[in-house]
Amino acid sequence: MIAVENFQVRGLPGEVHKVRFGSRTVDYWSPREPSEHILIALDGQNVLDKRNIPINPHQRATWELGQSALKVFAKHGLTAPTVICVYHTPYLSDNLGRLKEYVPAQYMSKSENWSQESHGLYQGNVDSFLATLTADQHVAELKDVIVPTIAGELGQEITPEKTAILGASMGGLAAIYSLIKEPDFFHTALSFSPHWVIGGDQLAEKMMQDFPAPGRHKLWMSRGTKGLDALYENSQDLADRLIKAKGYKENSDFMRRTLNRGAHSNATWARYAPAALDFWLKKGSK
């Protein structure tokens, strides 16, 4: 882990640390008091540092995740979590890097697994692209390198029951997939606008089928009703039904949420964050 810079974010005490693991950038923030909780956010460039948002500075919107965590955890009488924001591979390095990292490789490794609408996400030979999927390596990097290294730097223990992973869009799928692949490390997945359209109902069915049995884990899934999010309705409804049929209890260890007029945007996902964090902390199935 190589330090890059420290910077401040309005509404967060102390400083955010920007570091690199090889070519991967990570921002992390921790409270002054030692925390028992760890929150890993995918698409970390959108989470804390608004300098990464390439539009008018006055219109830049992050997920405001650290600020929301401070408020929600205080409401529960808890010290805020360490927030670890993991950037995807930069588009300048590989314009398909994010897609390769976040596609649930176990379920999308053949061209017939993909919905027709999604073929525009990549160019060239489909099978050649699918041979380059790196989601499993990305999950391993989170579990074996990034989170342990930062926790060690802070002197913080990793407690799976108090470890959550969050993502939006393709990152929303990746958050669910991370828990499926490493259920003993990630106990809660918070998925905003999971991008089911790459595989449709078939993908939702496979992922919910492989999600761990209820008892130790929690799952949040949400979507808006505008723009791209409107396309998720049927597959999201199916995923909701399947996870409940598996034995997950709504408002306990499972939460579904539809935000009327919510869009596929950082601003909308920031609106979800407090409720999702509150769900994570509420006592449910263990």
Q: What is the pLDDT along the chain (286 residues), one digit of tens a residue?
A: 999 999 999 999 999 999 999 999 999 999 999 899 999 999 999 999 988 877 655 446 889 999 999 999 999 999 999 999 999 999 889 989 999 999 999 999 998 999 877 766 776 777 888 889 999 999 999 999 999 999 999 999 999 999 999 999 999 999 999 999 999 999 999 999 999 999 999 999 999 999 999 999 999 999 999 999 999 999 999 999 999 999 999 999 999 999 998 999 999 999 999 999 999 999 753 3
Task: Report which of 93, 91, 87, 37 is spatially closest to residue 66, judged by C-alpha positions.
Answer: 37
Query: Distance between CA atoms of 262 and 193, rounded to whole angstroms?
Result: 10
In a 3-state reduction of DSSP, which class is residue 183?
A: coil
Residue 172 within any structural domain of the chain: yes
Residue 151 within any structural domain of the chain: yes
Residue 286 within any structural domain of the chain: no
Contacts of 263 (CB under 8 A, 6+ apart): 224, 226, 227, 229
Query: Distance between CA atoms of 258 and 263, rounded to whole angstroms?
Result: 11
Query: Distance between CA atoms of 64 and 200, rounded to whole angstroms?
Result: 30
Residue 255 within any structural domain of the chain: yes
Which domain, by its residues, includes 176? Answer: 2-281
Under a CB-based contact definition with an 8 Å cutoff, are residues 32 and 89 in contact? no
Q: Is 187 exposed, middle or buried (0-12, 13-18, 19+ CB in 10 A)?
A: buried
Domain count, the chain: 1
Tokens encoding 80: 């805020």
The pLDDT value given to residue 286: 37
The verdict on pTM exceeding 0.85 is: yes
Residue 222 within any structural domain of the chain: yes
Q: In the beta sheet, which residues pair with residue 6?
A: 17
Task: Report which of 169, 175, 164 is spatially closest to residue 193, judged by C-alpha positions.
Answer: 169
DSSP 197: G
Residue 131 within any structural domain of the chain: yes
The pLDDT value given to residue 51: 87
CATH at residue 35: 3.40.50.1820
The letter for the amino acid at 129 is F
Residue 211 within any structural domain of the chain: yes
Give backbone dihedrals phi and psi of 193, rounded to 5 degrees, phi first. 50, 50
Residue 88 within any structural domain of the chain: yes
